Amino acid sequence: MIPLTLVTLLASILVIVISLVSILLLTPLTIRILKSRGFLVQDFHKPSKPLVPKPGGPAIIISLIIGESAVYLFTGNIGILALILVTAISGVIGLLDDAYTLSGVMKPVSLLIASLPILLLGTFSSHPEFPIFGAVRLTLIYPLLVLIAIPVTANTVNTIDVLNGVVSGFITIAAIPIMFALALKGNTDMFLAALPIFTVSFGFYIFHKFPSRIFPGDSGSLSLGAIYGAIAIVGGVEIIGIIAILPAILNSFFFLSSVKRLVEHRKLKERPTIVLGENRLAASRSVSAPLTLVRLILADGPLTEKEITLNILKLTIYSAFLAIITASMTWLK
């Protein structure tokens, strides 16, 4: 357990304030800039198809970097530097994706670059800890897993960015078990580093929740996913990180296994859902449409966008609860 000292408490408060102020100032500024330059997209899940500014990624990326830089100044931990670099690289790739729409294969391949800071700075332990039986030695295979972990988490989080407020609310909730595990583990530096992820995604959620005033875009969701994966690795809480994002993993897995290839979602021929009147969505009953989490949630019948978002966030809370149990089984002595 991390020592609850005055220094830790003050540092935590300062990191939260810095990250929150950054995102709360930068998001409205980004909305204004995007509106004035005409960077607007239709919100397809609403009958009136309103225009919404996109991408909000720059506000997320800059706020994450500011928050992590503050933690780096406090701690001088090289692992935080790796997190900053992972965020910056994945953010740039996300911005390219927002501008030019990278292919379903190009996106994960280019995100391999975002894993390099963790490998080159050597900020990982090849002994991941499991509940009940403890740490295991994966000296040879672990660096390979690190290399693919960032593209996997970034894309997994990217695929859950489906409706108003989902991805920002999802990361806000999923960051809680990570912070809990790092606190139990007694890793103060990484606990502080997890705070900006929670705070920035929560701050962005205020603008992203139904009805969205801004969309994060690929730059926002990829950078959130990449830093989430990076903190799980650098902090040595990989298993907790995986369990907390199980709804997104299932979404990705079910999607990939039904379309049977890496494909950009905008290029799908058949949509998994259909938009009905009165802001309601229904599951497509077509056998060839991709199976996604939203489609599974809609299996019982049509729901409003707000209800679907709430259901996804309820599932995330449940996964976070399982992750907290797993963390307790691993580190609570």
Partner 1 sequence: MPSGLRSLIIIITAVWAITLVESYIIFKIIVPLSLTSINFGISIVEPVVKTGLAGTLTLFWIYAMLKIRNVYAKNKIFSKPEGT
- Sign of the Cα pseudo-torsion (233, 238, 241, 246, in order): positive
Backbone angles phi, psi at 285, to 5 degrees: -95, 5
Range 150-160 burial, b when 16+ CB lie within 10 A, else e:
bbbbbbbbbbb
> Is 233 among the residues that bind partner 1 (CB under 8 A)?
no
Q: Does residue 311 touch partner 1 according to CB under 8 A?
A: yes
State which of residues 291, 313, 324, 327 lies at the interface with partner 1 (CB under 8 A). Answer: 291
Decide: residue 37, CB within 10 A, 0-12 exposed, 13-18 middle, 19+ buried.
exposed
- 236 touching partner 1, by CB under 8 A: no
- Report the nearest approach of partner 1 to the CB of residue 86 (Å): 25
Count Cβ atoms within 10 A of the Cβ of residue 240 and give its class: 0-12 exposed, 13-18 middle, 19 or more buried.
buried
Among 21, 104, 206, 254, the residue binding partner 1 under the rule CB under 8 A is 254
314 near partner 1 (CB under 8 A): yes
As measured in angstroms, the least distance from the Cβ of 281 to partner 1 is 11
Q: What distance in Å separates the CA atoms of residue 80 and residue 148, rounded to the nearest whole number? A: 20
Other C-beta atoms within 10 Å of 13: how many? 11
Tell me which of 160, 226, 297, 327 binds partner 1, using CB under 8 A: 297
Binding residues for partner 1, rule CB under 8 A, total: 39
Q: In degrees to the nearest 10, what's the CA dihedral of 60, 272, 252, 175?
A: 40
- Applying CB under 8 A, among 82, 93, 242, 324 the residue interacting with partner 1 is 242
Q: What mask of x and - would describe binding to partner 1 in positions 118 to 137, judged by CB under 8 A?
A: ------------xxxx--x-
Which of the 8 DSSP states describes residue 209? Answer: S
Work out which of 183, 230, 243, 327 binds partner 1, going by CB under 8 A: 243
| 253 lies in the site for partner 1, by CB under 8 A | yes
Interface residues toward partner 1, by CB under 8 A: 130-133, 136, 239, 242-243, 246-247, 250, 253-254, 257, 274, 276, 282-287, 291, 293, 295-302, 311, 314-315, 318-319, 322, 326
